Copies of this chain bind each other. A is one copy, B any other.
Amino acid sequence: MQGAILVLSGPSGAGKSTIINHASPNIGEYYFSISTTTRQPREGEEHGVDYYFVTHEEFEEGIKAGDFLEYATVHGNYYGTSLKPVNEALAQGKLVIFDIDVQGHRLVRAKMGDYVTSAFITPPTLKELEKRLYARATDDTSIIERRIENAKEEINAIGEFDFVIINDVIEEASSQFTTIANAARLKQNREELEKMVLHWRN
């Protein structure tokens, strides 16, 4: 496999997109994996940009057809990653960046561990997370509260990640992310490198 994988997880509101956008000029060519979901688009969200929005039936057909690298149910909605575009980007030697939850991270690592680097991104405090979620103001209070409960649950998995980025000062978080992305890229061709070296023994 020519490419490499960088998994980002962390609470909604941690600033994952902001960090990626900020670091974007410094991390070379990458493919940002767009998730597929059955949840309703929020205001301003676009199909094919933020998510692929599909129906419950379409998603379940995809599951049956083996189209998903990973998927999970969160608050009654499906979220998943289609294999096809990921495999295409990897075949082109690109760094593929995933923004998925801790369940998704586990599955991707189990399937493609040799090529995976992962980082858990989080705001410095719970107060700051709450502030950011309320400031975003795209969601109802009940949804925000659910996100906060979810965040408290997700951080239990922090030890499973290669790196932790505390997004307090964006310049610092973005610089750390750049270092991690550059290291992640070194895992491309890992299998070929190992084969080449192991070939000596004989």
| Residue positions of A touching B, CB distance < 8 A | 114, 122, 124-126, 151-152, 155-156, 158-159, 163-164, 166, 176, 179-180, 182-183, 186-187, 190, 193-194, 196-198, 200-201
Q: Which of B122, B166, B180, B198 is in CB contact (< 8 Å) with A158?
A: B198
User: How many angstroms from the CA of A180 to the CA of B200 in the assembled complex?
Assistant: 25
A163, B179: Cβ atoms under 8 Å? no
Would A179 and B190 be within 8 Å (CB), given that A155-B197, A197-B164 are in contact? no
B179, A166: Cβ atoms under 8 Å? no
B156, A201: Cβ atoms under 8 Å? yes
A159 shortest CB reach to chain B, Å = 6
> A186 contacts which chain B residues (CB < 8 A)?
163, 176, 179-180
- Pull 7 A–B residue pairs with CB atoms less than 8 Å apart, ordered by A: A151-B200, A152-B200, A163-B187, A164-B190, A164-B193, A179-B183, A180-B186
